[in-house]
Chains A and B, each alone.
Chain A
Amino acid sequence: MKTAISHSTQYATLPDASGCTKEYSANRPSPDLVLERSWRGPLRLVSSFLPLLLLSMLFGASSFQLAVDAPNWTGVPALEHYRAFYPVINPGTFFQTLLPAALLALLAALVCNWRPIPATRWRLAAALAVMILVGVLTFTFHFPRNKILFGDPLTRPEAYYHQVITEWVAGDYVRLAMIFIAIALVAVSMIRIARDTASRELSDSNTSGVR
């Protein structure tokens, strides 16, 4: 009903010039609102793009680890080479920076897109929840195995390390799948936000056209 009234006042032929000015002012978005709209759309888009970038980077780096690092953990001598090759920085340093950054970016995207579209809000919230689960999986499943493979003395039998490596790789596939789901959720959200902000820009430009 509100919309109908608004449209009728916008397009109505008004009785006199003073009345026209009055009605026109009533329907025109305030400068503050226009300014707010001008930055809100890009902010919503950028806030959804940043987690997509970080999550994809995380996915790429995890795939690299799974495809390049894991097949080389073939036994105790290989693990010794691995330990000796990473004296300065190890993969943990990289992931311990990138994962929190991705979580923060997801949280920012969720905050920036909380109100406009409920479906997008829940998709971003689900992506954040999935990535928190990735963190939980890393801490509870991978960290103990990392300690066995890369920290503790290599005194156990070869078969034991083989078993731990197999478990580590299986857990990493689960982690990759979860990151992939988060990427898909954020990508769909970004498309939805791009379309929504376009519609708003279009409706804003239509509004300005009838001014």
Chain B
Amino acid sequence: MNLRMISTAIALALSAMLLGAGVYESVVVAPNLQGAPSSLEHARGYYHATNPGMFFRVLSPGTQIFLLLALVCNWAPIPLTRWRLAGALALAILGDVVTFKFHYPRNTILFSGPLTLPAADLNRVASEWAAGNYVRIAVILIAMVLVMVSMIRIARDTIPGEHRYSSSSSAR
């Protein structure tokens, strides 16, 4: 185990956690947002101490930091791995852009603004939120696959002993 492997493994675990929490939200939380305004009143009453945003605001930057660290640690040895990790980092950032641009305005309507809109409009916003979450999940899944492929490549590149998949110098 070395820093190249450990940083990538942590980035992989964090991006998979992000994926798991995202899928959990899509499967468990999103269907229950339908049936506004009573469903939203219950959601507001329930999420009074902590809310999902608090979780993702820690996990998402954490994932990006470890992806950046993995990118730095694996910058030189294998160009393909460098670009895969850079792609994963770009996708993780894209996931946050989707969150800020698409989900935050809808979060305000669903979870903090006055529930004065017609029920049909609130349900439509909840449906849009769920559809946006599928996009976010797809983005994270692609990022995760890129990190996973990178990890396999790094594992092969750092084989201890004489049998290396390819030496770092020859892969340049």
Contact = CB atoms under 8 A, between A and B. Distances in A.
Contacts, number: 133
Given A63-B17, A63-B21, A199 B159 contact: yes
A6 interface: no
B24 A61 contact: yes
Interface of B: 5, 9, 12-13, 16-21, 23-25, 27-28, 31-32, 34-35, 38-39, 42-43, 45-52, 54-55, 59, 144, 148, 151-152, 155-156, 159, 163-165
Contact of A71 (B23, B38, B50, B151): B50
Interface in A40-90: 45, 49, 52-53, 56-61, 63-65, 67-68, 71-72, 74, 77-78, 81-82, 84-90
A86 B13 CA distance: 29
Contact of A61 (B20, B32, B50, B164): B20
B32 A60 contact: no
Given A72-B49, A74-B48, A195 B31 contact: no
Interface string A193-211: 0110011011100000000
A30 interface: no
Interface of A: 45, 49, 52-53, 56-61, 63-65, 67-68, 71-72, 74, 77-78, 81-82, 84-91, 93-94, 183, 187, 190-191, 194-195, 198-199, 201-203
Contact of B19 (A57, A198, A199): A57
A56 B17 contact: yes
Contacts of A94: 23-24, 27-28
